[in-house]
Amino acid sequence: MSKQKKFICGDDAVAEGVRLARPHVISAYPITPQTITVERLAEYVEEGSLKAEYLHVESEHSALSCAIGVSSVGARAFTATSSQGLLYMAEALPYASGARLPIVMMNANRSIATPWNIYGDQMDAMFLLNSGWIQYYVEDAQEAMDMMIQAYRLAETKEVMTPVMVNIDGFVLTHTYELVEIPEQSLVDEFLPPISMPENSMSLESPKSLCISAGNDTNMEFNMKQHFDMLNSEYFIEAIDKEFGDKFGRYYNGMLEGINMDDAEIALITTGTVTGTTRVVLKKLRKEGKKVGLIKLRVLRPFPVEKLAEVLKGVKAVGVIDKNISFGYEGTVFTNVNSALSTMENMPKTMNFIGGIGGRDITKEDIEIAYEKLFEFLQGEKIERVQYMNVRCDY
Amino acid sequence: MLKLNAHTITNKEYFYGHKACGGCGESLALRHAMKILGENSFAALPAGCMAAVSFIYPNMAFTTNAMITPFAATASVASGIAAGLKALGIENTQTIGIAGDGGTADIGFQALSGAIDRNADIIFITTDNEAYMNTGIQKSGLTPYGTKTTTSPAGENLPGSITQKKNMFEIVAAHGITYAATASVGYIEDFLKKVQKAKDTKGTSYIQVFVPCPTGWGYPANETVSLAKAVVDSGLWYLAEYENGEFMLNKNPKEFTSAKDYLKKQSRFKHLNDADIEYIEEQRDKKWEIMRRKWNY
Ligand SMILES: Cc1ncc(C[n+]2csc(CCOP(=O)(O)OP(=O)(O)O)c2C)c(N)n1
Ligand code: SF4
Ligand SMILES: [Mg+2]
């Protein structure tokens, strides 16, 4: 049997993945560069290839609030947004995660106003790192599609019961066309069984009060349970990815992928599409005999503390590429990485490369420079720990 | 249809054990509404007094399914619930949103408008106590002119709130909603009838019920029902319906009882002088003149 392949963009790939996951209800509000996804889903519902309710909501706050309602009765919900839209629904994010509702959302990573800009950086999702949602970052259209399926499986795992945000870099991925393999529905149905969450959904058989209030005598315990279930979801992220690999032949290495890390002296850490560019540079530098490596962080919440420390054993200097700035500090991934690496006996030296803000290209040359700077840093040259890639003003 | 009153409605309680103040008009409205809506109800309540007093872990006041929603999201969560139930093929259920005046006319307005636009299969009940009570009596879009609240203080320069009560009923009707009504806990049978009508309506329906609040308004707790009657009799509130594109007055008093008597029973209006009250009466008369003219009475 020949495998079905389609030449589609990242947004299309997300829609394909969502269709295969068979959500009961879709509620979303348009925003560039997410729009293609919600347009496709509307078409699928219209033509009947996806049997779902499609709710035309009047805002992102309502998009997620609808999804909360849907999920609260034990139905499968999907929403998608980006940038201003993600921030507009921000209030409802911890609401969903606290209520342990397994909603899946696609976030097309886009810059945040002001200045206004529709292009890709990862400032939007970083804002919501603390929202209690599991956060995936994907590299290409195939992974985007595959992760929609994995995301539902993970979110709905009884021990996890946590909403999942799949982050897709704006334009570079959402609008870029690639050949994507579409799995068979029957295989997806085997991998992703119908949703079942009798313990935390409202039902006629077992009426419940949800999204309750808890005073200072119990509130912390609710939060602890949520926190530890999220920490423990790392196990399921790994297991589900392996099972996916066995079934569909594509394995993404769970929490993170290490490339050429066995003998690497220095390494770059990336999230999302910049990984692809870095792979190309890595190949070239390796050919030149340089002991360089790359780590693709696939999940930022939960954060892969142990796995990251493990893969960086023996590495002398690490650079983190951040497509975001935490104003007044540094890149957010960098902060997270440093904390994780401080658990190591011999912590590598660390550098931050902030770039790609407002959709500025991070080129192969930029990445090569980053590797070079890491070598200089390692050799003890006096060099700023936080570097800004390709900036055109004095600062 | 059986006349709905204290004798004919169920003795079952679906909403009790909450921590609302004695004499709370909102909880009275909820208790009665739930008796009509019944055990297959799914209730969505935003932040506000009713959510605050009914879901305090581990004591839950609803025996039916119920949940607190984000403050702005009553109508959107409710329409999500309805859509989820529909998609799962679960029938004979009733999804309701129950929000305060602030949760309806201010922060919840957009989501309500969106839900009506989608004709979501929900009932939206506004329990209107004319201020943000849960946060300590602040002015909302449904606070009437001359009300003293903690953010519209009455003093030398201002008579309390200086804006008119937002005309939510007609704003909702202007969406072309299937069914909308106003009500008051002072006329409980009328309210029960309207809840039943909303229950029998497919698509979105809206009921705005007037619910006095002893704590926020400053009157003895045993006056809740009499004030809720007096407000209708004095013409400062009205009982109406919107159905099949037509407005209807359920009560069209030939003469109004004294507005002053109604106002002066409450400390939120204590500061009003005769000129203020005259102005309030003028505004009332103007509103009735317009309603009667537009609705052919
Ligand atoms: C987004 C958000 N803003 C503000 C609040 C604070 N808040 C909680 S209840 C409330 C007032 C509710 O007033 P109303 O809707 O009239 O209901 P009532 O308490 O009078 O029943 C406010 C302002 C909140 N919980 N959420
Ligand atoms: S403050 Fe008013 S609305 Fe709130 S519980 Fe007390 S009486 Fe009811
Ligand atoms: Mg109120």
pTM exceeds 0.95: yes
Decide if B77 and A25 are in contact by the 8 Å CB cutoff.
Answer: no
Q: Is A251 left (phi over 0), alpha (psi -120 to 50) or beta?
A: beta
Instruction: Say if ligand 2 is within 6 A of residue B129 CB.
Output: yes
Overall average pLDDT of the B76-93 stretch: 98
Question: What pLDDT, in 10s, does the model give residues B67-78?
Answer: 999 999 999 999
Indicate the residue type of A65: S
Q: Which of A315, A331, A323 has the alpha carbon at shortest distance from A272?
A: A323
CA B249, distance to chain mean position in Å, is 17
Beta partners for residue A295, in sequence order: A258, A269
| All residues at 6 or more sequence positions from B131 whose CB lies less than 8 Å from its CB, including other chains | B101, B102, B137, B138, B139, B140, B143, B147, B149, B213, B216
Tell whether ligand 2 has an atom less than 6 A from the beta carbon of residue B51: no
Asked if residue B26 has its Cβ within 6 Å of ligand 2, the reply is yes
Range A89-118 average pLDDT:
98
Percent of chain B scoring above 90 in pLDDT:
99
The residues of chain A that CATH labels 3.40.50.970 are 4-181+205-248
Beta carbons within 10 angstroms of residue B88's beta carbon: 18
Pocket-testing residue among B209, B213, B268, ligand 2, by greatest number of atoms within 8 A of Cβ: B213
Percent of chain A with pLDDT over 90: 99
The answer to whether the CB atoms of A204 and B88 lie below 8 A apart is no
Tens of pLDDT, residues B161-208? 999 999 999 999 999 999 999 999 999 999 999 999 999 999 999 999
Nearest CA in chain A to B97: A69
pLDDT mean over B134-158: 97
Contact criterion met (CB < 8 Å) for B80 and A68? yes
Residue A228 backbone dihedrals phi, psi, to 5 degrees: -75, -30
Check pLDDT > 80 for residue A8.
yes
* Cβ contact B55–A62 (<8 Å): no
Nearest CA to ligand 1 atom 26: B71
The span from the CA of B88 to the CA of A379, in Å, is: 63
Q: Phi-psi category of A261—alpha, beta or left, where left has phi over 0 and alpha has psi -120 to 50?
A: alpha
**Chain B neighbors of A74, CB-CB under 8 A:** 84, 88
**Per-residue pLDDT tens for B203-251?**
999 999 999 999 999 999 999 999 999 999 999 999 999 999 999 999 9
Q: How confident is the model at residue A3 (pLDDT cuts 50, 70, 90)?
A: confident
Question: pLDDT digit string (tens) for A148-193?
Answer: 999 999 999 999 999 999 999 999 999 999 999 999 999 999 999 9
Beta bridge pairs of residue A134: A164
* Partner A contacted by B116 (CB < 8 A): no
Span B22-33, mean pLDDT? 98
How many other C-beta atoms are found inside a 10 Å radius of the C-beta of residue A122? 27
3-state secondary structure string across chain A = CCCEEEEEEHHHHHHHHHHHHCCCEEEECCCCCCHHHHHHHHHHHHHCCCCCEEEECCCHHHHHHHHHHHHHCCCCEEEEECHHHHHHCCCHHHHHHHCCCCCEEEEEECCCCCCCCCCCCCHHHHHCHHHCCEEEECCCHHHHHHHHHHHHHHHCCCCCCCCEEEEEECCCCCCCEEEEEECCHHHHHHHCCCCCCCCCCCCCCCCCEECCECCCCCHHHHHHHHHHHHHHHHHHHHHHHHHHHHHHCCCCCCCEEEECCCCCCEEEEECCCHHHHHHHHHHHHHHCCCCEEEEEECEEECCCHHHHHHHCCCCCEEEEEECCCCCCCCCHHHHHHHHHHCCCCCCCEEEEEECCHHHCCCCHHHHHHHHHHHHHHHCCCCCCCEEECCCCCCC
Tokens 């050949």 locate to A179
Interface test with B, best of A68, A103, A196, A206 (most B CBs within 10 A): A68
pLDDT for A371 beyond 80:
yes
Q: Given this model, what pLDDT does residue B188 score?
A: 97
Query: Is A213 in the B-facing interface, judged by CB distances under 8 Å?
Result: yes
**Which domains does chain B show, CATH number per domain?**
25-294 (3.40.50.970)
**pLDDT greater than 90 at residue A1:** no
Rounded Cα gap, residues A124 and A133, in angstroms: 14
Distance B63 CA to ligand 2 centre (A): 21
Domain A256-388 is of which CATH architecture? 3-Layer(aba) Sandwich (3.40)
Residue B15: closest C-alpha in chain A: A209
Per residue in B245-289, pLDDT (tens digit) is: 999 999 999 999 999 999 999 999 999 999 999 999 999 999 999
Nearest CA to ligand 1 atom 13: B132
Length of chain B equals 297
What pLDDT does B112 receive? 98
- Beta-bridge mates of residue B138: B132
Confidence category of residue B1, pLDDT binned at 50, 70, 90? low
Query: Are the Cβ atoms of B70 and A92 closer than 8 angstroms?
Result: yes
Q: Is B72 on the interface with A (CB under 8 A)?
A: yes
Residues 6+ apart with CB under 8 A from A209: B54, B55, B60, B62, B65, B66, B67
Q: Where are the domain boundaries for CATH 3.40.50.920 in chain A?
A: 256-388
Residue of A56, A70, A131, A195 to mutate, testing the B interface (most B Cβ within 10 Å of its Cβ) = A70
Q: What pLDDT score was predicted for residue A161?
A: 98
Amino acid, single-letter form, for residue A109? N
Number of CB pairs < 8 Å for A and B?
155
Query: Mean pLDDT, to the nearest integer, of A363-367?
Result: 97
Chain A interface includes B38 (CB < 8 A): no
CB burial of B234-243 (b: ≥16 within 10 Å; e: otherwise) equals bbbbbbbbbb
How many whole angstroms separate alpha carbon A297 and alpha carbon A308?
9
In the numeric block, which tokens belong to residue A12?
Answer: 């299309």
Residues 21-80 of A with CB under 8 A from B: 24-25, 27, 52-53, 55-59, 61-63, 65-75, 77
Q: Is A193 on the interface with B (CB under 8 A)?
A: no
Query: Are A58 and B117 inside 8 Å of each other by CB?
Result: yes
How many other β-carbons are positioned within 10 Å of the β-carbon of residue B196? 17
The preferred substitution site among B126, B129, B138, B185 for testing ligand 2, maximizing ligand atoms within 8 Å of CB, is: B129
Question: Average pLDDT of A310-314?
Answer: 97
pLDDT at A2: 60
pLDDT given at position B104: 98
Q: How far apart are CA B143 and CA B132, in angstroms?
A: 9
CB B131 within 8 A of CB B138: yes
Cβ density class A215-247: b for 16+ within 10 Å, e for less: eeeeeeeeeeebeebbeebbebbbebbeebeee
| C-alpha distance from residue A132 to each of A76, A91, A96, A351, B96 (Å) | 19, 12, 8, 28, 28
Region A333-353: mean pLDDT is 97
Strands A177-182 and A164-169: unpaired
Q: A4-181+205-248 maps to which CATH number?
A: 3.40.50.970
| Overall average pLDDT of the A194-199 stretch | 95
| Contact state of B84 with A71 under an 8 Å Cβ cutoff | yes
Three-class SS string for chain B?
A: CCCCCCCCCCCCCCECCCCCCCCCHHHHHHHHHHHHHCCCEEEEEECCHHHHHHEECCEECECCEEEEECHHHHHHHHHHHHHHHHHCCCCCCEEEEEEEHHHHHHCCHHHHHHHHHCCCCCEEEEEECCCECCCCCECCCCCCCCCCCCCCCECCCCECCCCCCCCHHHHHHCCCCCEEEEEECCCHHHHHHHHHHHHHCCCCEEEEEECCCHHHHCCCHHHHHHHHHHHHHCCCCCCEEEECCEEEECCCCCCCCCHHHHHHCCHHHCCCCHHHHHHHHHHHHHHHHHHHHHCCC
Respond yes or no on whether the N-terminal peptide bond of residue A278 is cis (omega within 30° of 0).
no
Q: Which residue matches tokens 């909450």?
A: B18
Nearest to A62 among B54, B73, B84 (CB): B73
Question: Best of A197, A210, A221, A225 to disrupt the B interface by mutation (most B CBs within 10 Å)?
Answer: A210
Measure Cα distances from A7 to A48, A250, B57, B91, B191 in Å. 22, 18, 52, 41, 59
